[in-house]
Amino acid sequence: MTRNASLKAHAALLGANLIYGANYSLAKEVVPQWVGPSGMILVRVSSAVLLFGILWAFKPEWPRREDTTRFLICAATGIAINQLMFFEGLSLTSPIQASIILTANPVLVLLAAALIAREAITLRKSVGIVLGILGALVLVMQRDATASGTNVALGNIFVLVNALSYSLYLVLVRKLMAKYRVITVMTWVFIPGLLMVAPFGIEQFNQVNWQAMPDYVLQLVAFIVIGTTFLAYLLNAYALVSVSASVVSAYVYTQPFIASIIALALGKDQLHPSLLIAAGLVFAGVYLVSSTPSKSTEKTQN
């Protein structure tokens, strides 16, 4: 992998996580006041199918029969289970507990990559993961710990299933990235994903009163669809061509930091010394995880 390719991959990952970080604050203005969580997922996935499908149609590339099962598994883990479990879990548990559970995502990816893709678990990567967890927890623990959910135990299980599901997706989809164009993979992961989420979201989708939505809410829906779903998935997929799944997942630790910066910019938070400490830990962790390419990464690039 060339240095230029590596820089582009990290820029894509930073862009994707900037979008995710902003989404924490912006999505709350839409869900569940205007659109139910499952209904919003249906809006996101159906819109993504349309957007990816348009790009794919300019240069069609069909999945091979031997990869059908992997495409379906990626659709289930990366789209259906991932999104449904996260939104349902977040509606039951507290945001702080959900955030703590999600710090396990890079650890799960590292383990899945070792078991499925035979990526080496190096000491350097392990230390990077630990630093990332510490940095994320420094920020997460500053949130209102008194906030609770209606069924915290069940919600926590859903969020954990979400983290495990997305971890498997990142590892499994990387093999498809080595064989197909990014747009092809995204299109044919989202199409079966739409069929999987539709039964769960159709009722809430039909209840949405689009005419009553203020303009700013419609703009936020557009951001969630185009930014959080289309662009963020596309940027992560683009990065997976050049870097390992563990590197992609390590960037999840930047999201609390990014969310804090956005809150500062909007005047909803104040600068705390812990933010600087957390930022140092997070970016040191990301550097350690990404600075030692795995053997499978090198093999893919050669």
Consecutive 10-residue runs of the chain (302 residues): their mean pLDDT?
Answer: 80 89 76 87 95 96 95 96 84 65 73 76 79 73 57 77 88 92 96 96 94 93 92 93 84 74 66 71 74 46 38
**pLDDT the model gives residue 297:** 42
Residue type, 71: F
Cα→Cα distances 300→71, 125, 153, 261, Å: 19, 19, 41, 36
Cα–Cα distance for residue pair 128/133, rounded to 1 Å: 9
- For the chain, the C-alpha Rg in angstroms (whole number) is 19
Cα–Cα distance for residue pair 60/128, rounded to 1 Å: 40
Nearest CA to 1 out of 164, 200, 244 is that of: 244
pTM exceeding 0.75: yes
Task: Output the CA torsion 106→110→115→119 (10° steps).
Answer: 140
Cα–Cα distance for residue pair 98/252, rounded to 1 Å: 13
Cα–Cα distance for residue pair 285/302, rounded to 1 Å: 27
